[in-house]
Structure formats: structure tokens, C-alpha cells
Amino acid sequence: MSSGAGRAPVKRRRTRTSPRSEAEILDAAYDLLMTRGLDATTVEAIADRAGVSKATVYKWWPNRAAVIMTAFLRRSGDILPYPDRFAPGEVEDRLLRMAAAFRGPAGTAVSALIAEGQSDPDIARAFRDGYVNKRREQGIAIVRDAIAAGDIRPADPDVVLDLLYAPLYFRLLVGHLPLTDEAVREHVGLVMRGLAP
């Protein structure tokens, strides 16, 4: 009889390196971020949930901040989309959807990422460059198209986006008042009337 007879099989961690594993890692990171919060979304927890080694995670991302932000950015476009064009109804609809997302786990995640960015420059840079600035490129293009078409009066596109989006972030982060649909409708109406040609 061999010396290994009767022993329980040793469980080995899978060490896949396929695009499928990459997607599973991102799904695991996003799920942890949404259900357990930023602090619990460690590289070890991500790897464990995805069924891969930590080395596999580090194959694609240099640090925890990078994998978390990649996972968040991969899904945030669906959660927080820009309108197709700068029309009052479409702008209001998208901001109402954003407010609804901010009232749930996505809002908790955004708050946590912004807060963590105050002490973690990697998180701050990834959030600013990957989420805020990248998304603003699309928003600025939409505003410029609206100005060129004469739908709104000429204005700095960055200021227009700040006017529309800053109140949602302010209520999300400060929490002085709830982020209600009524508040969103009122502030969108005020901004759009101010931009009317």
C-alpha cells in the first residue's frame, strides 16, 4: 500500500489565466464592493471569491485600488449612463436613474471610494481618471453638440456638467438632505431653464 493511501485529496486553488478568470475576478470584486463594502474588498477576498490565486489577480492589476476601480468602472456605465442627447426629458431621466443608484449600494460604493481617496492616492487617481474624467469626456461632447445645435445657450461644458451633477454628489456625501426625485426634478428644471437659448 502506498504511503498516500487513505488520505483525503489535497484541495488545490485553481490558477487560471484566461480572459474568463479576468471577468470572474472583476465580478467578484464588484460583488464584494456592493455587498460587503470597500474595506472588505481585499485582494485576498477577491481572489477567494473568484477561485483564483492572489498572483492571478496581480497578473492583471498592480494593486487593490486598480482591480476595485476596474470592476466599478466596468459596471458603472450601465448604472450611471449619460443621456444620448442634451434634451430636458433625457437629462432628467438619467439624473433620476443616477439618484436611484446613489440611494442603493452603488451610492455607498461611490461614497466609500471618494472617502478612501482622501488618504489613498491610488484610489483617488483611479476614481478621478477612470471614472470622473473619462465619463466627463462623453458628457462634454453631448453638451457641445447641444450648444452647436442651438438647443442650449453657449456655456462652458464643464460648468454645465457641474451644475447638473454636483447637487447629487453633495447630497450623497454630506447627507444634509435626502436625495429625492423631487429635488432632482427641481434642480434639473432650474438648470435647463437657465441654459435655454
Using alpha carbons, select from 162, 164, 156 the residue that is nearest to residue 193.
Answer: 164
What would the pLDDT profile of 89-131 be if each residue is shown by its tens digit?
999 999 999 999 999 988 988 998 999 889 988 888 888 888 8
Using alpha carbons, select from 161, 126, 159 the residue that is nearest to residue 142.
Answer: 161
d(CA 64, CA 40): 11
d(CA 130, CA 128): 6
Q: Is the pLDDT of residue 13 over 60?
A: no
Model pTM score:
0.79
Superfamily of domain 19-68: Homeodomain-like (1.10.10.60)
Residue spans of the domains in the chain: they are: 19-68, 80-195
User: Does 1.10.1240.10 match the CATH number of domain 80-195?
Assistant: no
Residue 28 and residue 98 in contact, taking contact as beta carbons nearer than 8 Å: no
What would the pLDDT profile of 162-185 be if each residue is shown by its tens digit?
999 999 999 999 999 999 999 999
